[in-house]
Homo-oligomer: A and B are copies of this chain.
Amino acid sequence: MLVVKVGGSEGINYDAFLQDLAGHEQVILVHGGSHELNNISATLGHPPRFVTSVSGFTSRFTDRETMDMFNMVYAGKINKMIVEKLQALNRNAVGLSGIDGRLLEGPQKRSLKVIENGRKKILRGDMSGRVEKVNVHLLSLLLDNGYLPVLTPPAISFESSAINVDGDRCAASIAGAVGAQELIILSNVPGLLRNPEDEKSLIRSIPRAEIDEHIDLYAQGRMKKKLLGAKEALEAGVGKVTLGDARKSSPLQLALDGNGTVIQ
């Protein structure tokens, strides 16, 4: 089993990527939609608010209104666009969010400790959390019957609220739960860069034991969560995680061939 995460940042070549993906038999796709959500929520008069936690991770503050827009963009526009394209490529895709069938379940964060303007602050009303439980039964039901699952946040809390969860870590949970041999995380960068300004400074491989060190030394912004996801996937038994470039013309095949940052 192969689990592939494709980001929602600018510049991603979905057609090339899905062409690649359609050639794989046993595969689960997880996708994002952050760039499009930023656009839509701004147009709808509720611009995105990003906060930085005390541990240095950046995330979207998700109130109820943002969650409605999140569903619109992730579970509506992007998910169905991908499913439609896969159907046209002759793959019987089924798109689901983590709410559907309690596919991705976990605790909601009670409050968020953030740093704003250099000061620590506690934020409430954030509909976010993390995935602790994957409904493998529903995934197997689909896979065993020839369907290709196309999955997206939000997840669902133990109290049955929609919760925003990080897509990369969510893909890691899924890969671990289904016993995937490999997790590929594609976004609009070549992988982990030694210098974020220089795409030629790609770090080609990270030994498992040195992930934390790499998070501290090189990872910025969303790359921190990708590495955290990679670490969680390996801890859950996934053999190999590759961070690859979704802007290429054959992005999945290139990543499978070892292009990008390979973590094992």
Bound together, the chains give a CA A81 to CA B125 distance in angstroms of 18
Q: Chain B interface: which of A92-100, A177-185, A214-222, A229-237?
A: A92-100
Q: Tell me if A26 is interfacial: C-beta within 8 Å of chain B.
A: no
Given contacts A44-B43, A95-B97, A100-B94, contact A87 B141 (CB under 8 A): no
Q: Are the CB atoms of A94 and B87 closer together than 8 Å? A: no
Q: Chain B interface: which of A65-73, A111-119, A165-173?
A: A65-73
Q: Are the CB atoms of A76 and B84 closer together than 8 Å? A: no
Contacts of A159 in B (CB 8 A): 88
Q: Are the CB atoms of B84 and A161 closer together than 8 Å? A: yes
A43, A87, A96, A161 — most chain B CB neighbours (10 Å)? A87
Integer count of this chain's copies in the complex: 2
Q: Are the CB atoms of B87 and A156 closer together than 8 Å? A: yes
Looking at chain A's contact residues, the main secondary structure is helix
| Min CB–CB distance A146 → chain B (angstroms) | 9
Contacts of A101 in B (CB 8 A): 92-94, 147
Q: Are the CB atoms of B75 and A73 closer together than 8 Å? A: no
User: Quick one: which of B69, B76, B94, B162 contacts A75, CB cutoff 8 A?
Assistant: B76
Which residues 105-160 in A have Cβ within 8 Å of B in the complex?
Answer: 137-138, 141, 145, 147, 154, 156, 159-160
Contacts of A100 in B (CB 8 A): 80, 83, 93-96
Bound together, the chains give a CA A76 to CA B154 distance in angstroms of 11
Given contacts A95-B97, A141-B145, contact A87 B102 (CB under 8 A): yes
Bound together, the chains give a CA A75 to CA B73 distance in angstroms of 10
Bound together, the chains give a CA A160 to CA B160 distance in angstroms of 34
Q: Are the CB atoms of A79 and B75 closer together than 8 Å? A: yes
Taking A88-B161, A96-B100, A141-B141 as given, write out 20 further A-B residue pairs in contact, using a Cβ cutoff of 8 Å, ordered by the A residue number. A71-B77, A71-B80, A72-B76, A72-B77, A74-B76, A75-B75, A75-B79, A76-B77, A76-B79, A80-B97, A80-B100, A80-B162, A84-B99, A84-B162, A87-B102, A87-B156, A94-B101, A95-B97, A96-B96, A141-B145
* Minimum-distance CB pairs A-B, first 7: A76-B76, A72-B76, A72-B72, A88-B160, A71-B80, A87-B160, A94-B100
A selection of 12 A-B contacts at a CB cut-off of 8 Å is A43-B43, A44-B44, A69-B77, A75-B79, A75-B80, A80-B99, A87-B99, A87-B160, A88-B161, A95-B99, A96-B96, A141-B141
